Chain A
Amino acid sequence: MAASKFVQTYSIIRRLKTVMFAIAVFFVIGFFGNYFASQGSLKGLQEINNSNAIQNHLSQALEGLDSSILSVEKVRSAKQLRDIQFAFDQSQLLVKKAMGQALLHSGKNNRVLRYLNGASQAINNFEQSAEGIFDNHLYLAADDLEGELLVARQFSLEAREALKDAQISLRQSSNSLFAAIYQRRFIPLIVTIVLSIFFFTFVVTYGFSLAKKLGLSIGNLLRATDYVSRGNLTYEAKILEHDELGNLTNAFNLMVERLNRGRIELDHSIDRIKRLQEITAAFSEALTVEQVCDVTVGIGMKAIGARAGAVGIISGEGTELELRKSEGLSATVTQLWQSIPLDTRIPMTEAVGRHEAVFVEDRKGFDSYPAVLSTVEQEGIRSSVSLPLIVGNSCLGGVSFSFTTERRFTQDERDFLIAIARQSAQALHRSQLYDDAKIAIESRDEFLSIASHELKTPLTPLKLQLQMLGRQIKKGELTYRPEKLASIVESSDRQLSRLSRLVEDLLDVSRITSGRLTLNLERIDMEDLLREVLSQYSHQLRDALKVVEVTADKNVVGEFDKVRLEQVLINLLTNAAKYAPGKPIKVSLENRDPMVRICVRDQGPGVAPENQKRIFDRFERVRETDNVGGLGLGLYISQQIVKAHNGHIYVRSNPGHGATFVVDLPLHQLQ
């Protein structure tokens, strides 16, 4: 389809010029041909004309001769000899003049010249004898005179005869010349006809072939335009002649080719957009991470014809890739790569690490990844592509496709794969959000049931005691002893304060989530605060029969929100009392300038390592200790408060050996 480079070697214009030139040449040749063909006739006509002139002169000479002889004959009876002689001389003069003219005209006509010579001789003889007669006629006898006259007459006859001969000869030659001219009258015509035939043959053959070629070329072009207009863009018009039309055809072919290329590209683009749309649709239907991984691998393999595909997602710790989905790989290989530390050098980790696609186009390309060589050999992989799954600035994982043949990835394919990866990453991100949301909803539901249960717990005994008191009052007599009444009131008060604490906690949580947690910083001594809290809540601790051991450094002064920190400490202490009843609680305060560390250690069941982070989340409680009441908001609120102070809170625990909650706070807030 590629139209070859065109080199114009012929020119229609030049050929038309040739035709024109040929026509001009033919005209010139025709003119000269006719001219030369007529030349002979012209010469003949000239000669005829010439001989006519000679004829005239000869006729004059003959007339003169006649009058001469008449003059001479008059001698017989002549009286005035002088007159006769004069007349004779005049006519002789005429004769000689005419003869001279005739001689002058006759040129090279030898025959005529011969006759004229004979005539001149005879005329001379005649003249001599006539002169003789004129001189001597007086002395001559009549008979002698008669003899002399006869002699003169004889000479004149001879001259006459010669002149006549010349005339006849001239007439004959004229006739023959005329006959020749007449015979040749067709020659110019024949020359014209022959030249015209040549000319027409040339013009017709050359011009016809030219016109035919032109017509064919134009027809070709027309057919091509017809085909192209009907949409056949692969049609290539044949170039018949390397001339201007050929050039035009070539240009047309190039144009069509470019058009076709454009159309193919357009088709490709449309195809790609369609596929992307399908992919988008598929991804939009995938809700969970597993579904997204399935779709990614499935679509990717189908779109580029890969032999195998796998998706790895960065684990919670961010240190390794978990293989979430693989297809086309043997079970052992899948097992081998179930989790991949990010510092292992393989194409997928490199793609994840560098946030860009890694293309391995041949077997040699794997040499720089020694870790995968055995897998590559085992699976017969010859090329692969690995893409990071990037959302915004963070990478969620990587996807990899493998091929059993070496192949080059075109820019098109690369772009397409990257687009798939982007789509996949977004879907993955969405699905993760979805999962998170689902979990959040679940834990909120759980929290609601716990919260309603918790709220109901103090309400039931409160209602019971109030009803009892109400019944007593109705009867009009108080049978209860004052001690009993006091205990009922105290119990009701405890239930109410518990309720108000629960409500307070809920308010705090909503405050924190809406970002309305503000600190009222003031300069306080942490030891005083600790002592105050311990004494303030001693009755509660006493209730739980707790023994609190305190070791505190002096003069730990810093900028803190007193109320909030009290809340944190109370929370930690209540937790310790709640989870380890009857066991001693150790509280320590260390001054580690510029930080202060508060530790609360209990001897309860402890916290399992997998839960150590979770317990600080909202609505979270450790399941195994379901028998313990509470909303599970305390640690969350505490953590938020500590974070607001730019501190840390965490738990150190060995299950079964109690737990230590550690709070690190900076003494001075950077403002």
Chain B
Amino acid sequence: MKTLTKTVVLLTGLCLATGALAQKLAVIVNVSNPASSITKEQVQDFYYRKVRQWPDGTALRFFDRGEDSPERSDFLKSVMKKTARQLDQYWISQKLVSGASAPTPVGPDRLVESLVSRFPGGMSYVSESFVPSKGVKVLKITGD
């Protein structure tokens, strides 16, 4: 176990040292979630609330991060490929069209973890360096 942790830390460090991008992001879901990986498109759909359920039918609960958190800016840049302003506009229009509102923003990692662990269909994103405790699991974002 320790060796695994070490390798992860090493890899993270490597990435930080050499990475073109500032930080890699990871998706966390409830442990009960059978999914093992997730594509960027899926994440986008989930965020945009175009898909509201996991494939097994569990209600999807996406928790956004605080507006000024580095994870969110990364998330916008690498996954959503939109600016915060664009997203604000999107949600304003969505609120008018479908009544859907933006996912609830949650500040610290710990709180995100606890929320995801409490909802079976919970989901959020964390920096790759985040070490999950009990109740959540990390999914790699695959694809481009």
Contact = CB atoms under 8 A, between A and B. Distances in A.
Contacts of A143: 108, 110-111
A154 interface: yes
Interface in A142-165: 143, 146-147, 150-151, 153-154, 157-158, 160-161, 163-165
A440 interface: no
B65 to A, nearest CB: 12
B99 A154 contact: no
Given A143-B111, A158-B59, A150 B100 contact: no
Interface in B1-39: none
B111 A161 contact: no
A54 to B, nearest CB: 15
A154 B118 CA distance: 12
A160 B98 CA distance: 11
B104 A168 contact: no
B114 interface: yes
Contacts of B54: none
A146 B111 contact: yes
Which of B99, B107, B110, B115 gathers the greatest number of chain A CB atoms within 10 Å?
Answer: B99
B99 A150 contact: no
A158 B106 CA distance: 16
B104 A153 contact: yes
A157 B115 contact: no
Interface SS of B by simple majority: mixed
A167 B99 contact: yes
A304 to B, nearest CB: 122
A164 B100 contact: yes
Contacts of B106: 150
B114 A147 contact: yes
A157 B104 contact: yes
B69 interface: no
B61 interface: yes
B115 A151 contact: yes
B142 to A, nearest CB: 27
Interface residues of B, number: 17
B58 to A, nearest CB: 13
Interface string A165-179: 101100000000000
Contacts of A154: 61, 63, 104, 115, 119
Contacts, number: 41
B48 to A, nearest CB: 13
B28 to A, nearest CB: 15
A167 B61 CA distance: 21
Given A143-B110, A147-B111, A157 B118 contact: no
Nearest to A166: B99
Contact of A151 (B100, B101, B118): B118
B100 A161 contact: yes
Q: Chain A interface residue count: which class?
A: 10 to 19
A85 B98 CA distance: 31
A349 to B, nearest CB: 139
Contacts of B104: 150, 153-154, 157
B101 A157 contact: yes
Interface string B113-131: 0110011000000000000
Contacts of A150: 63, 104, 106, 111, 115
Contacts of B99: 160-161, 163-165, 167-168
A165 B108 CA distance: 31
Contacts of B115: 147, 150-151, 154
A159 to B, nearest CB: 11
Contacts of B107: 146
Interface in A17-46: none
B122 to A, nearest CB: 9
A150 B119 CA distance: 12
A158 B108 CA distance: 22
Nearest to B98: A168
Contacts of A165: 98-99
Contacts of B61: 154, 158
Interface in A97-150: 143, 146-147, 150
A223 B46 CA distance: 97
Interface in B83-102: 98-101
A47 B61 CA distance: 34
A545 B131 CA distance: 224
A167 B98 CA distance: 9
Contacts of A158: 59, 61
A545 B53 CA distance: 198
Nearest to A121: B59
A164 B95 CA distance: 9
A517 B107 CA distance: 189
A151 B104 CA distance: 10
Given A146-B111, A151-B118, A168-B99, 20 more contacts: A143-B108, A147-B111, A147-B114, A150-B63, A150-B104, A150-B106, A150-B115, A151-B115, A151-B119, A153-B104, A154-B61, A154-B115, A154-B119, A157-B101, A157-B104, A160-B101, A164-B98, A165-B98, A167-B99, A168-B98
Q: Give the 5 A-B residue pairs with the shortest CB-CB distance, closest first.
A: A164-B99, A147-B114, A147-B111, A153-B104, A154-B104
5 contacts: A146-B111, A147-B115, A154-B119, A157-B104, A161-B101
